[in-house]
Amino acid sequence: MKTVFKKSVLGREGVWPEEPKSNIEDFIPAELLRESAGMPSLSELDVVRHFTKLSMKNFGVDSNFYPLGSCTMKYNPKFTEQVAALPGFARLHPAISQLKGAGRHCQGALEVIFETERLLSELCGMADFTMHPMAGAHGELTGVMIIAAYHKDKGNKKTKVICPDSAHGTNPASASIAGYEVVSVESNDGIITPEALAEVLDDEVAAVMMTCPNTLGLFEKHLPEIVKMIHEKDALLYYDGANMNAIMGKMRVGDAGFDVVHLNLHKTFATPHGGGGPGSGPVGVCEKLTPFLPVSRVKKLEDGQYYLSYDAPKSIGFVAPFYGNFGVYLKAYAYMLRLGREGLIRATENAVLGANYMRKRLEDYFEVPYNRTCMHEFVLSAVNQAKNGVRALDVAKALLDKGHHAPTIYFPLIVKECMMIEPTETESKETLDCFVDDLIEIAKLAEENPDFIKNAPVTLSVSRLDETKAARDMVITDDIN
Amino acid sequence: MPYVPHSPEDVREMLNVIGVNSVDDLFAEIPADLRPKSFDLPKGKSEMAVLQKMEKLAARNTTDLTSFLGAGFYDHFIPTAVDALVSRSEFYTAYTPYQPEASQGTLQAIFEYQTAMARLMGLDYSNASVYDGGTALYEATLMAVRKTKRRKVIVSEALNPIYREMLDSYTGNLNIELVTVPHNHGRTNIKSLTAVIDKDTAAIIVQNPNFFGSVNDFTDLFATAHEHKAVAIMSTYPVLQAVLKTPGQMGADIAVAEGQSIGQPLSFGGPYLGIMTCSKALVRQMPGRVAGRTEDGEGRTGYVLTLQAREQHIRRQKATSNICSNQALCALRTLIHLCLLGEEGLRRTALLSIERAHYAAERLTSITGVDLFTKGPFGNEFAITLPVNAFEIVDKLTERGIIPGCPLGRYYDGLENGLLISCTEKTTEEQIGIFAEILRGAI
């Protein structure tokens, strides 16, 4: 399909504003001006049709099952979109809260922030939350910055952060960008053992970053001992909340001994991810870390009025221009109110139920490297299929032909030909069965007719795309031929 | 139970297949002493009840004031078709396009967005967006530090103070020295900036139009930076890039911007859009997602995420950045908005905003005691000085239905009487007239 630039017809009128009265040269000298900006000229219908057609080339949760492990692509209820679009929220200028009498004109918005922080604090068993971080990885960075500020304040000289070999790539990247040396700890039969941790845990360690259940879908059953070991070194324990959907109401990370946690609201709290974002990555901390949270913070006066406080001398400062992705976490707040205590617990229970059901149904057809009770996701390996030349990637593409989005592939890195499947609680048994049946059929085809699978997908607007060519030729704008 | 479809019969069948008696059995690995000490969350509510509660909260915010607040975040008109198109669930309920064949809509849109941003900034390449303008600026700074292996970063004080604060936070633990060069009555102090560039300089960071609205040409400054092999970074306002000399024409290596003003509602601070573009030489230092054009086996054009070897999911601790989620849906909004306006519409939006600001400047400075603070050419924003404290005036006028602007004293010591005033194409001459009359009465 032609790009929108190639569809441009000079002189065609879109949504033009009224005619200005003057010329730009009346205000700004010619030497400070440019010629054309190269934007396309199209009619409104041209634009509407172009983007409608583009949308039809996409899989979304509303049209396709999306069992992407560690991404928690559950159904996003529709009413939350209406909430975020309410003019009282959408039209509110953030700086209005910073004028004199701060907060007078935005009590509703401040209450949303305050209440969301309270709900998340209770959910996670943390003392406080900040809504500033604008994505999960941004939450990680904010969390590690808080950890660094804590150690600096105590006079601790610590230079390292430990990440398991199964960790999301963002964990080591965030620790590194915050100025730490990253040390890996190996998992043992899928989980971290106290013995393996002891080998790398020394006085220089500022923090250990963990995901629990981890990216293999397994609960870290040595957690109590690990927590103790880490705290004895005056290191802090960081919880990557990507897998929070597995434990709501079953474990609170604060009660379990974690000091810092980030959540991915677009995952657990059902706010759409928009093809890559925006997200929202609030960070919760235990009491001793509260002074280091980013500014500003929403506080409540005795008369029930909310205000913004900048009085935090130990704060790490501003990590976002204002209060994070307000429009995103509004949706998460509304979602939490809708589900309530029982609904959140039920979500977790059914997410875990669905994953275990699929694991059991697939165990005879694919290698299941850690075949025991999993949490909300599990990993399969296509090692058996690979003997016939059918790799995890091929299985993924064959699933696209069946109308399912593929699982996460080649991650976690410690499993060969890995496929990480996460069904989520919102998918019906019929959908799970359909996916499993299709996957079993693909496993059979991988034996009988492997070439058929290696040619997938054949039903979409394009077949297998040449990623090497994209990297080598690097055409990333429409202006280079 | 909302959004969970399983009937009791379904659950029983699933438990049978798993071979356990109850759902609780699936959580047996969580030891008793790790179970929640409390889980005191409110009971769930119906959709109607939640909507009513949220409507009430929304109504507690004031949005019917006439506002001249800008300071980097602007209330431009958003064409109706923007919402209609991004509301298509295939766009907004999709994930990061890890399976390109099933995500061609998102990927082509990103490719087109990259093209639009590169053209707007007059630079070679763009990424698929980062969180916001401040993040874009901090990531640009880290690009320069990596590229030059130097640690001194020169920052103009006329750069948006919110971004300077963010830069401070992010570089706090890193071995980077920020040198801030004071502004000169709202003008970017090009002479002083030029004077401090030396062989240890990794980057120089300026903004155009700057925080006070002043429009500049940084060509000579950037040339000096290049003589010292430093990286030239410019923060811009994308609407005015329709008419202003581009960062590329001035010789910038990296241009960043807050993209909120094209297609995003103000939404109390986010989600916004970090625009980031750079020259060819720096593309491998650029963080975040990038979509590239390629072909399938039959020679059909398609798009994939590319340059992934820089990213956290491949390079882990050696990645250029930790950014994983970007602002894809916001980038899509900006692209659609730009397409709807087209070349002429974007120019008109810029010119109308500038026209209104100049009219406002004329009306306001005709009041005795009110002076124009921003000297030289300015765009859609300018600063004035009042004979009294600006915070007090803002307070007084807000009570009368007008937010007259952003008090400069909030960010700059000694400018307690300064007020930063912004206009867009939505600002009417009538509103400006009322503002001027009320201000005249108030001082």
Four-residue CA torsion sign, B41, B42, B47, B52: negative
- Tell me which residues of chain B, numbers 406 to 435, contact chain A at a CB-CB cutoff of 8 Å: 406-407, 410, 425
Q: What is the number of alpha carbons within 13 Å of residue A146 lying toward its C-beta?
A: 35
Instruction: Give the model confidence (pLDDT) of B412-443 as tens digits.
Output: 999 999 999 999 999 999 999 999 999 999 98
How far does the CA of residue A429 sit from the closest CA of chain B (Å)? Answer: 7
CB contact under 8 A, B37 and A252: yes
H-type alpha helices, B19-154: 47-59, 80-86, 89-92, 104-121, 133-148
- Binned at pLDDT 50, 70 and 90, residue A243 comes out as very high
Q: Which of A90, A277, A462 sits opposite B329 (nearest CB)?
A: A277
Q: Which of B36, B132, B163 sits opposite A251 (nearest CB)?
A: B36
pLDDT at B339 over 60: yes
Burial of A43 (0-12, 13-18, 19+ CB in 10 A): middle
Percent of chain B with pLDDT over 70: 100
At residue A465's C-alpha, the angle toward residues A368 and B127, to 5°, is 100
> Got the DSSP string for A107-163?
HHHHHHHHHHHHHHHHHHT-SEEE---SSHHHHHHHHHHHHHHHHHHHT----EEEE
Angstrom distance (rounded) from CA A126 to CA A132: 16
Residues of B in contact with A14 (CB under 8 A): 339-342, 345
Q: Return the number of other C-beta atoms located less than 10 Å from residue A467's C-beta.
A: 15
pLDDT of residue A453: 96
pLDDT at A481 over 70: no
CB contact under 8 A, B39 and A252: yes
Q: Which of A474, A464, A261, A83 is nearest to B299 (CA)?
A: A464
B60 touches chain A (CB under 8 A): yes
CA distances from B386 to B161, B370, B401, B415, B438 (A): 21, 5, 19, 10, 14
CB contact under 8 A, A361 and B71: no
CB contact under 8 A, A63 and B90: yes
pLDDT of residue A329: 98
pLDDT at A246 over 80: yes
H-type alpha helices, A276-391: 326-362, 383-386
CB contact under 8 A, B30 and A13: no
How far does the CA of residue B206 sit from the closest CA of chain A (Å)? Answer: 16
The number of C-beta contacts closer than 8 angstroms across A and B is: 706
Q: Which of A12, A52, A176 sits opposite B88 (nearest CB)?
A: A52
Q: Which two tokens stand for residue B151?
A: 């640690």
Residues of A in contact with B358 (CB under 8 A): 26-27
| Beta-bridge partner residues of B254 | B233, B278
pLDDT of residue A480: 57
Please state the pTM of the whole predicted model: 0.98
pLDDT of residue B416: 97
CA nearest to A136 within chain B: B325
Instruction: Give the model confidence (pLDDT) of B344-353 as tens digits.
Output: 999 999 999 9
How far does the CA of residue B214 sit from the closest CA of chain A (Å)? Answer: 10
pLDDT of residue B1: 74
CA nearest to B271 within chain A: A325
Residues of B in contact with A107 (CB under 8 A): 60-61
Name the amino acid, one letter, at A39: M
How far does the CA of residue A383 sit from the closest CA of chain B (Å)? Answer: 21
B255 touches chain A (CB under 8 A): no
How far does the CA of residue A447 sit from the closest CA of chain B (Å)? Answer: 24
How far does the CA of residue A169 sit from the closest CA of chain B (Å)? Answer: 5
CA nearest to A340 within chain B: B44
Angstrom distance (rounded) from CA B308 to CA B288: 9
CB contact under 8 A, B57 and A111: yes
Residues of B in contact with A331 (CB under 8 A): none
Which of A26, A413, A465 should one mutate to test binding to chain B, selecting the residue with the greatest count of B CBs within 10 A? A465
Q: Which of B60, B67, B325 sits opposite A135 (nearest CB)?
A: B325
Report the length, in residues, of chain B. Answer: 443
B90 touches chain A (CB under 8 A): yes
Q: Which two tokens stand for residue B157?
A: 């004080």
Angstrom distance (rounded) from CA B244 to CA B121: 10
pLDDT of residue A15: 85
Whether the upstream peptide bond of residue B31 has omega within 30° of 0, thus cis, is no
Distance of CA A481 to the CA centre of its chain: 35
How far does the CA of residue A384 sit from the closest CA of chain B (Å)? Answer: 23
As a whole number, the mean pLDDT across chain B is 97
Q: What is the number of alpha carbons within 13 Å of residue A145 lying toward its C-beta?
A: 28
How far does the CA of residue B411 sit from the closest CA of chain A (Å)? Answer: 11
CB contact under 8 A, B79 and A342: no
Residues of B in contact with A93 (CB under 8 A): 67, 69, 73, 75, 266, 268, 403
How far does the CA of residue A176 sit from the closest CA of chain B (Å)? Answer: 6
Q: What is the mean pLDDT of residues B363-378?
A: 97
pLDDT at A296 over 70: yes
pLDDT at A101 over 80: no
Give the three-state DSSP class for B395. Answer: helix
Angstrom distance (rounded) from CA A96 to CA A88: 13
- Tell me which residues of chain B, numbers 281 to 300, contact chain A at a CB-CB cutoff of 8 Å: 283, 289-298, 300
- Which residues, 6+ apart, have CB-to-CB distance to B277 below 8 Å? B117, B118, B120, B121, B123, B124, B125, B126, B127, B247, B254, B255, B256
Give the three-state DSSP class for A93. Answer: coil
Residues of A in contact with B171 (CB under 8 A): none
Which of A9, A134, A410 should one mutate to test binding to chain B, selecting the residue with the greatest count of B CBs within 10 A? A134
pLDDT of residue A365: 97
pLDDT at A433 over 80: yes
Name the amino acid, one letter, at B24: D
Percent of chain A with pLDDT over 70: 99
CA nearest to B401 within chain A: A105
Contact B254, B277 (CB under 8 A): yes
Whether the upstream peptide bond of residue A187 has omega within 30° of 0, thus cis, is no
How far does the CA of residue B165 sit from the closest CA of chain A (Å)? Answer: 6
pLDDT at B221 over 70: yes
- Tell me which residues of chain B, numbers 194 to 213, contact chain A at a CB-CB cutoff of 8 Å: none
B336 touches chain A (CB under 8 A): yes
Which of B12, B54, B362 should one mutate to test binding to chain A, selecting the residue with the greatest count of A CBs within 10 A? B54
Please give the DSSP secondary-structure letter assigned to residue A180.
P
- Tell me which residues of chain B, numbers 223 to 252, contact chain A at a CB-CB cutoff of 8 Å: 241-246, 249
As a whole number, the mean pLDDT across chain A is 96
> Got the DSSP string for B202-213?
EEEEEEES-TT-
- Which residues, 6+ apart, have CB-to-CB distance to A186 below 8 Å? A164, A165, A196
Angstrom distance (rounded) from CA A190 to CA B380: 58
Which of B112, B267, B300 should one mutate to test binding to chain A, selecting the residue with the greatest count of A CBs within 10 A? B267
Q: Which two tokens stand for residue A33?
A: 């001006």
Give the three-state DSSP class for A251. Answer: coil
pLDDT at B168 over 60: yes
How far does the CA of residue B307 sit from the closest CA of chain A (Å)? Answer: 6
Angstrom distance (rounded) from CA A323 to CA A339: 25
CB contact under 8 A, A138 and B242: no
This complex has an ipTM of 0.97
Contact B408, A95 (CB under 8 A): no
Name the amino acid, one letter, at B239: V
Q: Which of B39, B335, B238 is nearest to A274 (CA)?
A: B335
Q: What is the number of alpha carbons within 13 Å of residue A315 lying toward its C-beta?
A: 19
CB contact under 8 A, A476 and B85: no
Contact B306, B291 (CB under 8 A): yes
Q: Which of B61, B88, B319 sits opposite A109 (nearest CB)?
A: B61
CB contact under 8 A, A475 and B293: yes
